[in-house]
Structure 1
Amino acid sequence: MQRYTSMTLFRKINIALLAAVVTVTGAGIALADDRGGKRGEMRFERLDADSDGSVTFAEFSRPMMERFNEADADGDGTISATELEEALESRRAERRASHMIERFDIDGDERVSADEIVNRQEKMFALMDRDDSGVITEDELPRRFAGGKRRGN
């Protein structure tokens, strides 16, 4: 699985530093991916690939090295700024898509239909229509939609 075999100490240090940068900037290892709840309880189990109740360094580093190898588009054992940018954009797009599905998918089929979007929009509209008049006036709009104006001002 690992594309790099014989590397100089300098290259190994660069890879280690890059791995730290990727972790800090959001690609992170599996541990940083969870925010608690049921998924949070599965952190250890996900790292413990052989389910023996302990995590070796190989198991611990596997998620990061998989991401490293995915980001290393040209397979040269290093990640350029361009490759890193593309990898981060791809992961960001995946997270956004996942969040959108999670937010709008009412029936749980991991797809979003026009009806599900309309349903969500109707709920949002009803919450903003504070006086139940069937229309939203500027003073009912949240600040982010009202051009910076505060409600009631």
Structure 2
Amino acid sequence: MSKSQDKFRLFFYGLFTLASVIILLDFFLPGRKVVDEIVSVQKERQQYYNAARNFHYSYKVSTSQHDFYISGDYAQEIEANEKIGYAVSWIFNEVNTYRLLRFEDSETNSLRLITGMLMPILVLITMSTAYLLKKKMSTLVFVMQVLLIVDLVLLLI
């Protein structure tokens, strides 16, 4: 591999590493604490279009400031006009954790765990392995880069 190709590859590795670190920081930093009254809880039926015609329910909480998904267990515990506390991330304005004020424990939406923690960590592991071991992992690195771009788009929407 020529030196210009190596510098080009190193530049893109650095760019995607920086994006991964920013996403991880946004997820792990505490964020702004918000306490707001629940306006509504919407139950949505999510259907799979396969032969078995399976489905599941998702629950979305609406407050005056944010809308976010919660687990079914939390949705069953919510009472009318109850207050909920949640942490909003600094960079992407996503709800990281939430909890009903009468409970001690908080929860994180599973999609937020994947987009905010798991995906950037997988990208960092893949890029470091490919760079440090000088392995031919260009296809895997490319797939992880595309997934990180999709993750960024999902966080920005």
TM over 0.5: no
The structure with the largest alpha-carbon Rg is: 1
With the length of structure 1 as denominator, give the TM-score of the two structures.
Answer: 0.23
With the length of structure 2 as denominator, give the TM-score of the two structures.
Answer: 0.23
Q: Which has the higher contact order (CA 8 A, sep 6+)?
A: 2
* Higher normalized helix content (fraction of residues): 1
